[in-house]
Amino acid sequence: MSESVRLLIHGASGRMGQALLRLCGESAGCTVVGAVTRKVGQRVVDGAPYFASAELHGTPASDAIVDFSLPEAFDAVLALAVERRIAFVSGTTGLSDAQRTALDVAAGSIPVLWAANFSLGVAILNELVERAAAALPGWDCDIVESHHVHKKDAPSGTALALGRAAEQGGATPRYASLRAGDIVGEHTVQFTTVGERIELVHRATNRDIFARGALHAARLLAGRSPGKYALRDLL
């Protein structure tokens, strides 16, 4: 790929979208050619042209789309990536089974990477959870997640991904969710038996970690062959 990857940011006015735009502005490796949000206020902000979701098909050509929006906005942006045959990176959580299947189908024609969590720490936590579950047969496994009050889906996508890792190791996880204040994201995976307990904890204190991971993935994914990629393939 060329030095600077052209990106379309979908969900641009959101908490994650704003972090992506700011970090992309600070990095030499990417250029935002369009920022898509539900409704447009100013047409250009900090050099990035804004588009409403109704104008999706009028957005400029890009090498990749980075999507951090909501499930109701997901189908249209995935379809656009397939139509334009460009890389698709998404961190949108709360997707339906049909939407996850659509991602698998899209991977037949474009490079696709969806991750419930783009932080390096959570990628490692997934591996630790699978190993702990395999080493502790018969122990209770509970996943407790806390997020800010605006988060819509529960359990979080990260909690469900950690749960899948625990299941791979043979555990049967249970979930608990807290919504409070401005918590960026905390996940505790607790293994308990009579007389002892192990807790594996990840705390995100800044959503830039997710935005950096997604931008890194977009830079690496642009121009690759079609397929379904995992974050650990690229880290």
**Tokens 């994914």 sit on residue:** 221
Going by the DSSP 8-state scheme, the letter that residue 59 receives in this structure is S
Which one, 6 or 187, has the nearer CB to ligand NAD?
187
**Contacts for 200 with CB less than 8 Å, ≥ 6 apart:** 125, 128, 129, 132, 188, 189, 190, 191
Task: For residue 147, indicate whether it is catalytic.
Answer: yes
Sign of torsion, CA 95 100 101 107? positive
Among 55, 57, 60, 72, binds ligand NAD (CB under 6 A): 72
Per-residue contact flags (x/-) with ligand NAD for residues 143 to 182, judged by CB under 6 A: ----------------------------------------
Listed ranges 68-76, 81-89, 129-137, 161-169: which one lies at the site for ligand NAD (CB under 6 A): 68-76
Contact status: 55 vs ligand NAD (CB under 6 A): no
3-state secondary structure of 70: coil
Report residue 194 as tokens: 């009579």
Q: Please count the other Cβ atoms lying within 10 Å of the Cβ belonging to residue 196.
A: 8
Catalytic residue among 10, 39, 151, 187: 151
Binding string, residues 198-217; x marks residues near ligand NAD by CB under 6 A: ---------x--x-------
Using CB under 6 A as the binding criterion, the count of chain residues that bind ligand NAD stands at: 25
Verify binding: residue 73, ligand NAD, rule CB under 6 A.
yes
Stretch that binds ligand NAD, among 15-23, 98-106, 134-142, 162-170 (CB under 6 A): 15-23
Q: How is the beta sheet containing 111-114 ordered, strand by strand? A: 44-45, 48-52, 30-37, 5-10, 64-67, 87-90, 111-114, 227-228
Applying CB under 6 A, the residues found at the interface with ligand NAD are 11-17, 37-38, 53, 68-70, 72-73, 91-94, 115-118, 207, 210
Residues labelled as active-site residues: 147, 151
